[in-house]
Structure 1
Amino acid sequence: MSNSPDVLFLVLDSLRMDRVSTYDHDRETTPALSTLSTYATTYENAFAPAPWTLPSHASMFTGTFPSEHGVTNGFSDDMCRLSPSRSTLADVLSEDGYRTAGFSNNPWVGQLSGLDRGFDEFVEWDLEISSEGDDSVHTSREELYSRCHSLLGKGARQPVFALKRRFFTDSLVDRTKRWIERGIDSAEPTFTFVNLMEAHSPYFPPKQAFEELGLEVPGPLEPRVLNTKLLAYVMGKTDLDPDTRRRIMEYYDASTRYQDRKVEEILSLLQREGVFDDTLVVVASDHGKTLGDYPRDEHPPHYLRDINLNVPLWIKRPGQREGETLEDMFELASLFDVVRDGNPPSGRYTRDVAIAEDFVPHAGRTTPDEVVRWRVAADEGNKYVRNDTGAEFLFDRSSDTLLRSPDPERCDVAAETLSERVRQFGRDDGAEHGGDDESNAPGREIDSGVEAQLKDLGYM
């Protein structure tokens, strides 16, 4: 088996483990991923390095944790971008002779954060072609979309029904399939990265997805009304009443079902072309999503619940034909090594304890005066949480319950384990906004169109 296999790296943004049928959700939301699990390794205890998109992707792309790579927060006046001195996965694979392409549904994942670096081809959330190495890859209509990307971005905002995210998702998946098809006979291996975010609010799933799940099909006005309520909740302006939350979860499931069909299109293409067996396939969520599950003002922050950190993950190694399930802890930052190595044994990068970090607040229009850093150390049974002020907490992971009177000895052991891992970090300077000026790229101002989209997604 080649040490440089073709790689498909698919991130399903904000996909919660408890809403995935492969992980025993009672609705059949992900039949394509269930089929993949019969070939792949399914990880029960995969942990995101951070509970939101920007730092989590930066960790997967660099193999480091947020306080190491410095991409911890996003603010309109002082954006965090990946340091030019830190190599990305696409950089490394390009140097190894790979042809690379990225297709991103999320504004954070691309030129805004510097995560498009190293890609021969990169298509942004609003269909802008920000990197183009081969003129034959994109059609004339797609080139037109790229020139008009600012108008398309404005059309993606919530009040407009004529142009919603499915338009962008369909386009990105079509381009992904075309890229894969054109690389089939290439002498060079290919690295294909895709971010899809149908599981991220707002939710506008097609009627067919509701029908497939046996759910009530919404009328023409309900999606707009429901998503307005959801955005108000995400921005901390109101809570979700039980009926509204129940309906939102139905929209979430329907969106996940639609997204699963897009995943099936990509995986089926690999099967039809006879390259699935030899391809390294990685499918992961970058984080989960809290939708009224816990009080927004709880301490420690609800972002650090397992529903946000314990994420779905499947890895199908080249030549792997039988599925397996691993219970050991796995850190998504290790995906950098998995992809770089090409065909590592399934348990090589599992750990006894997984680490995560969160810098609060995450994003906003202006830089806050203070950012609080939280760190997590989780094993299969417990999750230890502390912040830089010295507050520490212990959760029982079987029920995700905060232990009010934790065993002091158990806390001491967890604290030392976490401290030892942090001491091994390549860089830990406590940077709040990406580190010192010498090691991090200068901030990039967010233009009004992108900022508007980030607001509609609940980031600002």
Structure 2
Amino acid sequence: MSNSPDVLFLVLDSLRKDRVSTYDHDRETTPTLSTLATYATTYENAFTPAPWTLPSHASMFTGSFPSEHGVTNGFSDRMSRLEPSRSTLAEELAAAGYRTAGFSNNPWVGQLSGLDRGFEEFVEWDLEISSSADDGIHTRRDERHSRFHSVLGKAARQPAFLLKRRFFTDSLVDRTKRWLARRADDDEPTFTFLNLMEAHSPYFPPKQAFADLGLEVPNPIEPRVLNTKLLAYVMGKADLDPETRERIMEYYDASARYQDSKVEELFGLLQTEGLFDETLVIVCADHGKTLGDYPRDEHPPHYLRDINLNVPLWIKRPGQREGERIGEPFELVSLFDVVRDGDPPAGTHTCETAIAEDFVPHAGRTTPDEITRWRVAADREYKYARNDAGEEHLYDRSADARQSSPDPDRLESYGESLSKRVRRFGSERSDAADDGSATDREIDADVEAQLKDLGYM
């Protein structure tokens, strides 16, 4: 690496761009990120490589698309894990002399998928310390939590839960702050990754977050009832009536507001330690989240909507003090190169057309007989979608509306653009779940239960 600044890579899991105040949401859900935008680069058309957590993180960690790295689907009987031959961002940075730490709120991102590779410190969603090279990072309480992590995982399950997600979020943020403070005076640069899931269902935001937004504060029973209805919707067992959906979006906004307060803590720690100015800070969502916006059985699948693919992204370069907005498309896959570059010039790594892939279904207990792959090519005006059967669709992005009779020449042009990009992928693993190269791995019962609660299974 030509430049070796400290790096803070913060993924706000499932944070929808349209619910972020920086992107003109009418509620002040993210005041900390709005402040960040005043001296960072805000991307208007950042696209995730995949509309759900596992392949999206694998792409950001490897700089490759799902059909290249092969982590496309997650099933309990044949879990797609990252191949050992493909190095991760943390591994490359560690080899370049970085101290590395990861704190993940999502079960998919960690030892389950192999995305913990390269981190000398790694804390899993249930507070298991899966990697540790420094005895001073974790308190005795942390070590007890790690020892009894399976008990904590069970206590967090629906419907009879003892712990709300905030317990895990608070712990992961506190440990991240402790790691950053301990490394503040080190000569070696640091790479710190953190995944937070407050924008991912189920939603249990604190009462103060509702009050901050001027929303009705829920009684003790409402969160459980509302999240039960939401899980039934996510699993395709029930629809959301307009009143319920409106209240869910209020919970979503309150969760985003609470999460933003935790981001403020992280930034405050960096500023207190005198680290913020020269740190490369990346904040993004790995994907959005459809909450009754579109029919779940629509065709093409609702996962291809901008609400899932077009995500919020901020990059603050070392020494950057003036905010800017960039409208050209940007692929989250390129964050791999942004971090390796260390201090990339403003506006680099953008592209004319952003690519995304979706392998449906995403996850389940058993591998389905058939997996359908969709690919998307999007610029500032249109979005082109095509599946492996050759079915084509064109969307006007101004309203994310599928054109019933698209212009044949425009359809052909976008199709050729997509094919040209895909040809540059090189050797790809388009059917990783069935090609025999994936490693068999049984998902622990506690992890599978958590994935069920999150709506993956």
Supply the AA of the counterpart residue of 1:233.
Y
1:447 is matched with which residue? 444
1:154 paired with 2:151, answer no
Q: 1:4 to 1:434 in 2, by over 3 A?
A: farther
Write out per-residue CA displacement over residues 113-134 of structure 1, whole angstroms, 9 at most, x where no aligned residue. 0000000000000000000111
Find the aligned partners of 2:178 and 2:413 in 1 and give their Cα distance: 51
Cα pair 2:70 2:429 within 8 Å, conserved: no
Q: Amino acid of the residue matched to residue 175 of structure 1? A: R
CA spacing shift, 1:161–1:449, aligned 2, 3 Å: closer
1:459 corresponds to = 456
The aligned residue for residue 415 of structure 1 is: 415
2:105 aligns with: 105
Name the CA distance, whole Å, in 2 between partners of 1:121 and 1:268. 22
1:321 maps to 321
1:7 paired with 2:4, answer no
Please give the secondary structure, in 2, of the residue aligned with 1:126: coil
> Conserved in 1, the CA contact under 8 Å of 2:30 and 2:257?
yes
C-alpha contact 1:306 1:400 (8 A) present in aligned 2:
yes
Quick one: which amino acid aligns to residue 343 of structure 2?
N
Aligned residues: 457
Q: Give 1:219 deviation, angstroms.
A: 0.5
* Native 8 Å contact 2:44 2:325 kept in 1: yes
* Matched residue, 1:77: 77
CA contact (8 A) 2:58 2:115 kept: yes
Change (3 A) 1:118 1:435: farther
Equivalents in 2 of 1:401, 1:114: separation in Å? 37
Query: What is the rounded CA distance, in whole Å, between the counterparts of 2:429 and 2:413 in structure 1?
Result: 24
TM-score by length of 2: 0.99
Check conservation: 2:78, 2:442, Cα contact below 8 A: yes
Contact 1:61 1:88 in 2 (8 A): yes
Task: Render the CA deviation track for 1:162-218: whole Å, top value 9, x for unaligned.
Answer: 311100000000000000001110010000000000000000000000000000000
* Cross-structure match for 1:399: 399
Instruction: Give the equivalent residue in structure 2 for 1:291.
Output: 291
Q: Equivalents in 1 of 2:436, 2:408: separation in Å?
A: 36
| 2:174 paired residue number | 174
Displacement of 1:2 in angstroms is: 7.7
Task: Tell me if structure 2 keeps the 8 A contact 1:72–1:362.
Answer: yes
Instruction: Return the letter of the residue paired with 1:458.
Output: G
What CA distance in whole angstroms lies between the structure 2 residues aligned with 1:434 and 1:138?
Answer: 40
Q: How does 1:117-128 map to 2 (within 5 A)?
A: 117-128=117-128
In the TM superposition, residue 109 of structure 1 has moved relative to its aligned partner by 0.2
Inter-partner Cα distance in structure 1 for 2:428 and 2:190? 34
Structure 1 runs of 4+ aligned residues shifted over 4 Å read none
The one-character-per-residue Cα deviations of 1:47-78 (angstroms, maximum 9, x if unpaired) are 00000000000000000000000000000100
Distance 2:407 2:429 in 1: 31
Kindly indicate whether the alpha-carbon contact (under 8 Å) linking 1:57 and 1:109 is maintained by their aligned counterparts in 2: yes
Residues 274-328 of structure 1, C-alpha deviations (whole Å, 9 max, x = no match) = 1111000000000000000001111100000000000000000001000000000
Corresponding position: 1:18 with 2:18: yes
Question: In the alignment, which residue of structure 2 is the partner of 1:131?
Answer: 131
Q: How does 1:302-341 map to 2 (within 5 A)?
A: 302-341=302-341
Give the deviation of 1:143 after TM superposition.
Answer: 0.5
Partner of 1:247: 247
How far off is 1:159 after superposition? 2.2
Question: Identity over aligned residues, as a percent?
Answer: 77
For the residue of structure 1 that corresponds to 2:205, the secondary structure is coil
Distance 2:225 2:108 in 1: 26
Q: Give the match's secondary structure for 1:351.
A: coil
- The one-letter code sitting in structure 1 at the alignment partner of 2:126 is D
For residues 87-236 of structure 1, the aligned pairs below 5 Å read 87-236=87-236
Taking the aligned partners of 1:151 and 1:348, their CA distance within structure 2 comes to: 46
Contact residue 39 and residue 320 of structure 1 kept, 8 A? yes
Q: Distance in 1 between matches of 2:158 and 2:39?
A: 39
Residues 77-126 of structure 1, C-alpha deviation per residue, up to 9 Å, x if partnerless? 00010000000000000000000000000000000000000000000000
- Normalised to the residue count of structure 1, the TM-score between the two structures is 0.98
- Tell me, in whole angstroms, the C-alpha distance in 2 between the residues paired with 1:325 and 1:459: 34
- SS of residue matched to 1:308: helix
Comparing 412-421 and 427-436, the one that deviates more = 427-436
Shift of 1:387: 0.1
Shift of 1:430: 2.1
Q: Tell me how far 1:271 sits from its aligned partner.
A: 1.1
After superposition, the Cα gap between the structure-2 partners of 1:113 and 1:455, relative to the gap in structure 1 and judged at 3 Å, is same
Question: What's the counterpart of residue 425 of structure 1?
Answer: 425
Query: What SS does structure 1 have at the residue aligned with 2:251?
Result: helix
C-alpha root-mean-square deviation of aligned residues, in Å? 1.1
Alpha-carbon distance in 2 for matches of 1:217, 1:388: 47
Distance in 2 (alpha carbons) for counterparts of 1:2 and 1:20: 34
Q: Equivalents in 2 of 1:443, 1:261: separation in Å?
A: 40
Tell me whether 1:382 sits opposite 2:382 in the alignment: yes
Answer whether contact 2:69 2:429 (CA < 8 A) is retained: no
Amino acid across the alignment from 1:205: P
